[in-house]
Amino acid sequence: MKEIILFPFNGNAREALSTIEAINAAQPSWTVLGFIDDDALKAGRGCGGIKVLGGRNILSKFPDAFVLAVPGRPDNFRRRKIIIDSLELPDSRFATIIHPTVSKGIGCEVGMNTLLMANVVLTVNVTVGNHVVMLPGSVICHDSVIEDYTLIGSNVSVSGVCQSGKTVMSGVV
């Protein structure tokens, strides 16, 4: 089992925990060590029995653990790249988490530190970049590209041959 830490303690990370539980129910793969968050007021809080371990300094205590970094509140969304880069992690430490109900068609590629939640559909030749979050039920059709740091909201449909820019928030209010 691979160890993983979720950052920060927000809605995306809690949904990532639920996604990891679904993965483990189908095929035990991940041990969630905990959440990390720079907000000291969140220390000790948790979800599903998994606690906030502390701030980013905790990462040095678990040098072999993977990290899923999924910041993305509407008030800090444009800073996602800065927030993720500030963790100063090598690419090899980032996990990609894909719910078992995701439909991933021929020629589809998914980047690192990307979270695909339940019932996401990638049809044919779809490219999903790095540091992307796709909420439940989103559909991306043929030959489309979802660029890095983008967040696709629940039930958003993207037609074929479309390209998002970087750090786009689509279908999220």
Residue 108 domain-assigned?
no
pLDDT score, position 74: 78
Q: Give dist(CA 6, CA 97) in Å, integer.
A: 11
The helices-and-strands tally (H runs, E runs) of the chain is 2, 17
- Domain of 81, CATH number, reads 3.40.50.20
Tens of pLDDT along 108-130?
999 999 999 999 999 999 999 99
The pair phi, psi for residue 136, each rounded to 5°, is: -55, 140
How many structural domains is the chain composed of? 1
In a domain? residue 103: no
Whether 87 is covered by a domain: the verdict is: yes
Instruction: Show the domain range for 36.
Output: 2-93
Asked whether residue 151 is assigned to any structural domain, the reply reads no
Contact in structure between 131 and 103 (CB atoms under 8 Å): no
pLDDT, one tens digit per residue, over 32-62 is 999 999 999 999 899 999 999 999 999 999 9
The pLDDT tens digits of the residues spanning 130-139 come to 999 999 999 9
Is 111 part of any domain?
no
Q: Do 17 and 47 form a contact (C-beta atoms < 8 A)?
A: yes
**Mean pLDDT (whole number) for 136-163:** 97
Confirm whether 164 is domain-assigned.
no
